[in-house]
Amino acid sequence: MWVQRLLGRSLGELRLGRQISARIVNESNIEVQPASGDKPLTFPGVWLRDNCQCDDCFHGSSKSRKLDWDRFDTRIRPVDLQADELAQEVVVRWSDAHESRFPLKWLRDRSFEERRQAEYLRDFYRPPTRHWSGAEFQEIARHFSYDEVMAKDSVLMHWLQALAVHGVALLRGAPLDEGVVRRLAERVGFIRRTTYGEEFVVQAKPGAQNFAYLSLPLPLHTDLPYYEYKPSVNILHCVVQTESPGGSNMLVDGFHIADILRRDHPEDFDRLCRVLVDWNDIGSEDGREFHNIWRAPVICLDSAGRYTRVNHSVPQRDSHFNVPLEEVLPWYESYARFVRLAIADSHAFKTQPGDVLTFNNIRLLHGRAGYDDSEESPRYIVGAYLDWDIIYSRLRVLKKKLHSDSDADADSELGSQ
């Protein structure tokens, strides 16, 4: 695991003071061989100079580069190399007369080898997602105890990791007070505020301005597709569940539906990736009017063709549709196929009081069956959002902390021997 390498003490290596060799290649790059027999690592000279770790070039307490880029010369060349075996460092003298020292471990962690970079991105940056069909829901949906998530960092980490990989996780045994979603969000970082405030209550409100606040069936959708910065993760705390047969939750992995389209209906897939749809929400909350619009395709891809987001909401799709006339009908046909596939694949279950359902709103579609709302059969859900920026940050901090804790345990075991 990359993190273990990042934090591993490599005590054996240091004590042995293994032989390092380093040489300049192609006049500008540096090749380092950590020990004889190891595969050499090559680093671009210009990148090394940019990342000099000395006090003039790097600000330690903010962990930030402070090199003067107004004077940075990309033609910089290494002119001399030394290996400090005692300190396990490579010492570089540059054509601008500057000298830099790079610890071997620091260099290894930043290797330009493709495999190492892929590991870093996968283990530390953002874990890759695993897509699932509705039939696989029981296998992939992990359960955690709310109390353990609140008390143990390792359980917190596993919850967030499951959420990142599968896009859904269920917490159980939460108290039935309205502060649960806030406490949980603050365990991770902080609540993402939207036009609807920080926490929101989903219960039947006749005359509500938002469709979700009615007791009607709520078909599959993503929340707030009309935001450029769509809230990332939904936290839905079930406080009271209706006694009526309705009110079930439905979930679908939108990335899985996109996979099916990509494989079986490539033209529909392309259209849903390309045609910009106007998503909107017009209304007011606490006396503040809003008119949100964001134009984006149903399936959003990054430049490498990876999914970055799914948008879907029947009520929040604007009647304004700013595309050329001839694109409209084909788009409807493709979108209708997407919706049919999603409905066919959706998994239904009913949360119980004390359950906290958490899922990735960038990726999953969710909905609920209609229910009879009466005084004898109310339903009361408290919700809030978290953003992925904040979740991934927390996950990285936990990974570093838990791995260094386990290293510290390992060190103390060594010491007692």
Partner 1 sequence: MFQADRRDLACHLIRLDSPKELDHPRVVQVPDPDRQDMQFPDIWLRDNCRCKECYLPQTLSRLPQLWNNLDTSVRVLRQSVDVEQQVLYIEWSDGHASQYPYNWLRERDFSAANRQRYLSEFYRPEQKLWSGQNFEEVRRVFYFQELITSDSALLQWLQHLAVYGVALVKEAPLEMDVLRRLSNRVGFMRRTTYGEEFSVRAQPGASNYAYLAAPLPLHTDMPYFEYLPGVTLLHTLEQSASPGGVNLLADAFYVAEMMRERHPNQFRALCQTPVDWADIGSDGDLQFHNIWQAPVINLDAEGRCVRINHSIPQRDSHFSVPMEQVRPWYEAMATFVGLAQEHSCRFKTTPGDVLTFDNLRLVHGRTGYDDTDRNVRHILGAFVDWDIVYSRLRVLRNATAPGAP
Q: List binders of partner 1 among 313-352 (CB under 8 A).
A: 314-317, 319-326, 328-329, 332-333, 336, 339-340, 343
Of 145 and 404, the one with the shorter C-beta distance to partner 1 is 404
Q: Backbone phi, then psi, for 19, in 5-degree steps?
A: -75, 125
Of 210 and 244, the one with the shorter C-beta distance to partner 1 is 210
Of 172 and 182, the one with the shorter C-beta distance to partner 1 is 182
Rounded to a whole number of angstroms, the minimum distance from the CB of residue 142 to partner 1 is 24
Q: CB count, 10 Å around CB of 281? A: 23
From candidates 303, 352, 416, 417, binder to partner 1 by CB under 8 A: 303
Contacting partner 1 within 72-131 (CB under 8 A): 72, 74, 106, 109-110, 112, 114, 117, 120-121, 124-125
Rounded to a whole number of angstroms, the minimum distance from the CB of residue 132 to partner 1 is 23
Of 93 and 274, the one with the shorter C-beta distance to partner 1 is 274
* Alpha-carbon distances, residue 343 vs 6, 212, 219, 275, 278 (angstroms): 44, 18, 9, 22, 22
204 touching partner 1, by CB under 8 A: no
Distance CA 166, CA 13 (A): 38
Distance CA 79, CA 71 (A): 19
- Any idea what the Cα angle at residue 401 is, between residues 85 and 411, rounded to 5°? 50
**# residues near partner 1 by CB under 8 A:** 92
Contacting partner 1 within 137-196 (CB under 8 A): 189-190, 192-193, 195
Of 317 and 379, the one with the shorter C-beta distance to partner 1 is 317
SS3 per-residue string spanning 302-356? CCCCCEEEECCCCCCECCCCCCCHHHHHHHHHHHHHHHHHHHHHCEEECCCCCCE
Rounded to a whole number of angstroms, the minimum distance from the CB of residue 15 to partner 1 is 27
Contacting partner 1 within 379-408 (CB under 8 A): 387-390, 392-394, 396-397, 400
Distance CA 405, CA 417 (A): 19
From candidates 80, 154, 229, 240, binder to partner 1 by CB under 8 A: 229
Contacting partner 1 within 38-57 (CB under 8 A): 42, 44, 46-47, 50-51
Q: Which one, of 311, 283, 290, lies nearest residue 299 by Cα?
A: 311
Rounded to a whole number of angstroms, the minimum distance from the CB of residue 389 to partner 1 is 5
Distance CA 119, CA 111 (A): 11
295 touching partner 1, by CB under 8 A: yes
Distance in Å from the first CA to the final CA of the chain:
26
Of 141 and 181, the one with the shorter C-beta distance to partner 1 is 181
Relative orientation angle of helices 328-345 and 254-264, to the nearest 10 degrees: 120
Of 338 and 359, the one with the shorter C-beta distance to partner 1 is 338
SS3 per-residue string spanning 377-392? ECCEEEEEEECHHHHH
227 touching partner 1, by CB under 8 A: yes
